[in-house]
Structure 1
């Protein structure tokens, strides 16, 4: 069995490729390297450098490598920036998914695991999000992910696509030091880069309606997340039916200020964060239940927040900017 991983040269995608290798499944990676890194893809994994908008090239890659299923991560993933760049976000995430589904149909590939986002929920009016919680995204990014789920649903009705979407929020840590988060917008690299550079990390907004005024999120270790994608793909390949969406949540949120405290403890660098304005598109709190994913995918959070921070710090130290 061979799985095509779009965005497989990125931080999350490369961890998923690694997890497939450990599970004994072959991968092919498609990535335009706009935010990914060629060195993140193992030498023995076929790599196609192109945008998913290039439907013809993606179709050819699927046919040439005998692809049986797709894990779709490629896209523009920055919620806050998407508010300033809505057209780019829709082009990459909506038109890109349309082009990918067209390529799958042309290549007769009918199984896909879609990397969605907890951003589809916006700011929920419940303490614990479930798959039945209303979807009210507050950024073009969140909207584009919800549209991606709709596209899969409609493709299933039209030509029998077998699919599931995994919704999650803050993915952190590293399974191995060679694979690490280089995003200019994600919390962990922002904080760790600041400490390495001798700057003070910053909190964006302390006036949210949360216990300490800072955003509360589900933080998920990237290795746990990667394993869930592999299980979902294997179940689809085995002909099993899955729910259309699953939350990969911890059920227990952590605030940005609490993350800062954990970072200080893991790094041994004592600091008091600077306070800045809120970022547009950032909801106050998203904490999700992972019970449905536990039932069907064996989802588990096997890493503590402290382990998430330590692994991210080790990777950052091993790869100075």
Structure 2
């Protein structure tokens, strides 16, 4: 049913408008009595549980940052079967993001180009919403992804991240430093080890006991991926998320004119799968077995999730395929993981 709805209705809508419409439905799924119906149908099997970061995840598969930017749909996403929800990216200062249109589908590639620009209501508002969630626990593991405010100069990025971490870490099950989005000027330059070290140390100290991870770009050369992974272990981070979106446009099926008209931004979806898997293997080869590696990029099926787990991922995340698979995607993954055993 969903493929027909996508072809006839959603694919003709502006992608961002379609996302907002979908969020209304997802939020309803987390409200009684709908949650009472949805969760039993989507709940992962007990055998799918994963212990990591001092937490228990119902399933190894969760929602990547970018889907729920403002902590609005955690209950609904949990009701739809996802093992964890990573909210954000959240910045210290509220911001509108880049001008619309800023989200584009590449349907032949089952991919998306986005240049959203960290549109969100800021860390203070996110903290309020997280506090409300914590007053009524629903069982979801909530990660919080933080980024640099656009109006803050790169030279002052550390203070900006620390402000967000101080507000949000006490309310997060784990915290993620995003230095890899291509849509905030100067952000990816923070991935260089010499600039990344003091930033991560400062955020680590601000995060206290909350597990801290760093999210890296797929476009880093292999030796830099290794360097960041070793740095993360050296300074006592809990893990790495690999990877963010890519600026590459290689080997796409979508017509060149369509891709060019979409313009700049990060590419996510199926074309990212091979590089995301490659980066996962590079990271896992240089970090200890207990170090958490979350793999994201091009994941669409239970077989994809199983492949990442076999390649060394502790957990796996997805986002783009939600647009193409629909609201029962989490349930499909969970059932497929059990059937694959």
Is TM more than 0.5 here? no
- With the length of structure 1 as denominator, give the TM-score of the two structures: 0.33
- With the length of structure 2 as denominator, give the TM-score of the two structures: 0.32
